[in-house]
Homo-oligomer: A and B are copies of this chain.
Amino acid sequence: MKYILVLLLAGLTSNAQIQKEQLNLMPWPQGIVLNEGNFALSKTFKVNITGNPNARIFGAATRFLRRLDGRTGMFFEQGFITKLNEYPTAELQINCQKSGKIALYEDESYHLEVKKNQITINATSDLGALHGLETLLQLLQNNGTSFYFPTTQISDFPRFTWRGLMMDAARHFQPVDVVKRNIDGLAAMKMNVFHWHLVDDQGWRIEMKKHPKFIELASDGQYYTQEEIRNIVKYADERGILIVPEIDVPGHGSAILIAYPEIGSKVIILTGGTAEKNIQGTAIATYGIERNAGIFSPTLDPSNPKTYQLLSEIFDEVCPLFPGAYFHIGGDENEGKDWDANPKIQEFKKKNKLNNNHELQTYFTMQLAPMLKKHGKQLMGWEEILTKNLSKEAIIHSWRGANEGVAAGQSLTEAVKGGYKTVLSSGYYIDLMHNVESHYLNDPMPKGVELTAEEKARILGGEAPMWTELASATTIDSRIWPRTAAIAERFWSAQDITDMTSLRRRLETISFRLEELGLTHISNKNVILRNIANNQNIEAINDFSNVCEPLKGYTRNKGGIEYQMYSPLTLFADACTPDAKDALAFDNAVNQYLVNKSPENKAKVALFLNKWIAVNKTLNELSNNAPLIRPVLPLAQKLSEASLQLLLVLDNKPTLKGTDLKNLIEQCNTKDHADVELAVYASFKKLI
């Protein structure tokens, strides 16, 4: 048979009664009862809204209708929903008691009931109703001819109040449409915070009317206008999403200091005079937009009143753009190098009895709190802001782990025990290309630590940071999705929802459905592969990409200088993703075979191995007209050689000695080619 069929279990026979475990819900609801029977969809299906909701429910219900329309091709009669109680007899009744506020601790619960002839969503606020509509879309089933919802009762609410994604728009700038489609993705996954990293060494991304120098000198023309920001804030509000802006200070300061070098900490020592009389002076250093990745020294001068004057003016212009109650001031990775070398700053420390740079940074941070409070904003910062004199009102963003030489999430425990509210990002760094399991099983509630109920309550939730040193507008969606959907489940669903098999099964459908929001995590892969293959057939390079994963952690772009922040990312590693699809399928086949060496199970393993031998051959042929394929050839060669030997092993006819075979397999563990690694190495080892 030429085409591999992936026939889903559900719906093969007419309206087969589906089991709860077969539903592709994500995040999994807190309570669900599945009944017998179905609600059949038809062209006249209508929505009616009652109660006292925020007007955002009208747009949300309209988008719900259009998405359902797109999936079913039904061309529903109902167009734009713009008022209450327009169709009192509509099949879908949505009732909300009150208007939801885009803030923490709002009641986001909903009750969804699907009966045979009626669907109801009841929610305290429209925010809950929005979640209910997403759940209803996920409930959609079909057989061969029609679409329907199974009769169900769902009661649902989030476990954590902060369920966020951070997007870095400073490294590779991310245009408005990228931001919007990802906000749609967040809403679909019942997340509620979009943390927008807008300023870093590599660029200032906010139009500033009173300080035009920022965008003139530090944006390369790549920034959001204030209208675009307002427009995105409104877009997010309509989808129940709070936007938390970040301006990272006092470190990561290049972009600010390009425009205002006079508030930088770096001093240049000038020497002159004669042999007899040596004259020394200092000059202000100048700064440039950082083009590489890494931690850099440009830092604001905390001893200079002008620093605070400028920051105060910045907040006065930026805060009104964001109606939310939180403002992130960064505060991370300030190494204090320029502080230590600046005599004026050292003097300032002494005068103010600040014993070290941490205390100096706390002094700095505390100056910002009232500037933000003036605009009704609470200060949030990365965990480095946490020192003894920090106000308890600050929110601690816990991020460091083994790579930074500390225990993962250690600051989270310290923060809550110290009386601070906190959000966990350690373990959710989706830019680092770790597999979905590592993120999914990472709980914001620390294990093995005794916490009181109050301390636990200070853990607001978690946030997945998407840094963009290695992600462009073309590739970022595939770095965020589908893994962030699993993280969303961790933040929303009950703590004991941890089954990886279920997660993986559901994630495949969820990932597919996210495409309808315009997300390009699936479709842009072929765009990159076509470019690599120079418009030759991409089947072989695609097959190969399905067993390769981008290098993990901080091992790609060594030293941060291979790629510049303006470089497009169009290499093989940019087409690959964590959780390489065929690697997982192969591992399952290997495991089955090792349990039962039946001819069928053997054939399943051999099918993969033979495919990879063919892939290598084809890639070599294609590379004659595609230089971008060349860097992957050594790895494809190793995969092919190992596959060939493993086929012989399967047939009990190995031609290599044990150690030679082992060496051959070990070569598949290389990280030296094309910024990727073979994801089948562990499975190969099982076979020898």
Contact = CB atoms under 8 A, between A and B. Distances in A.
A515 B520 CA distance: 13
A448 interface: no
Given A540-B3, A568-B70, A75 B563 contact: yes
A563 to B, nearest CB: 6
Contacts of A142: 534, 625-627
Interface stretch (A5-13, A129-137, A353-361): A5-13
A6 B536 contact: yes
Interface stretch (A90-98, A143-151, A376-384): A143-151
Interface in A527-557: 527, 530-531, 534-537, 539-540
Contact of A11 (B11, B535, B625): B625
A143 B534 CA distance: 11
A571 B8 CA distance: 21
Interface in A460-503: 473-474
Interface stretch (A219-227, A251-259, A319-327): A219-227
Interface string A603-630: 0000000000010001001111111101
Given A623-B144, A630-B145, A568 B2 contact: no
A672 interface: no
A72 interface: yes
B512 A5 contact: no
B625 A7 contact: yes
A169 to B, nearest CB: 16
A177 interface: yes
A387 interface: no
A518 to B, nearest CB: 8
Interface in A567-587: 567-568, 570-571
Contacts of A175: 177
B79 A291 contact: yes
Interface in A171-221: 175-177, 220-221
Contacts of A628: 72-73
Interface residues of A, number: 79
**Assembly of this chain: how many copies?**
2
B566 A536 contact: no
Contacts of A562: 75
A508 interface: yes
A484 B173 CA distance: 30
Contacts of A143: 624-625, 627
A515 B534 contact: no
Contact of A225 (B11, B231, B522, B527): B231
A662 interface: no
Contact of A512 (B3, B522, B530): B530
A45 to B, nearest CB: 14
A5 B535 contact: no
A504 interface: no
B5 A618 contact: yes
A88 interface: no
A117 interface: no
A669 interface: no
A7 B618 contact: no
A75 B625 contact: no
A630 B5 contact: no
Contact of A75 (B1, B176, B567): B567
Nearest to A622: B5
Contacts of A12: 624-625
B5 A531 contact: no
| Most interface-central of A3, A4, A536 (chain B CB within 10 A) | A3
A531 B625 CA distance: 34
Contacts of A535: 6, 508-509, 512
A616 to B, nearest CB: 11
B508 A145 contact: no
Contacts of A516: 531
11 contacts: A2-B614, A2-B618, A5-B536, A70-B570, A75-B567, A144-B630, A176-B176, A177-B177, A522-B526, A523-B523, A526-B526
Interface of A: 1-8, 10-12, 59, 66-67, 69-73, 75, 79-80, 142-147, 175-177, 220-221, 225, 227-228, 231, 291, 473-474, 508-509, 512, 515-516, 518, 520, 522-524, 526-527, 530-531, 534-537, 539-540, 562-564, 566-568, 570-571, 614, 618, 621-628, 630
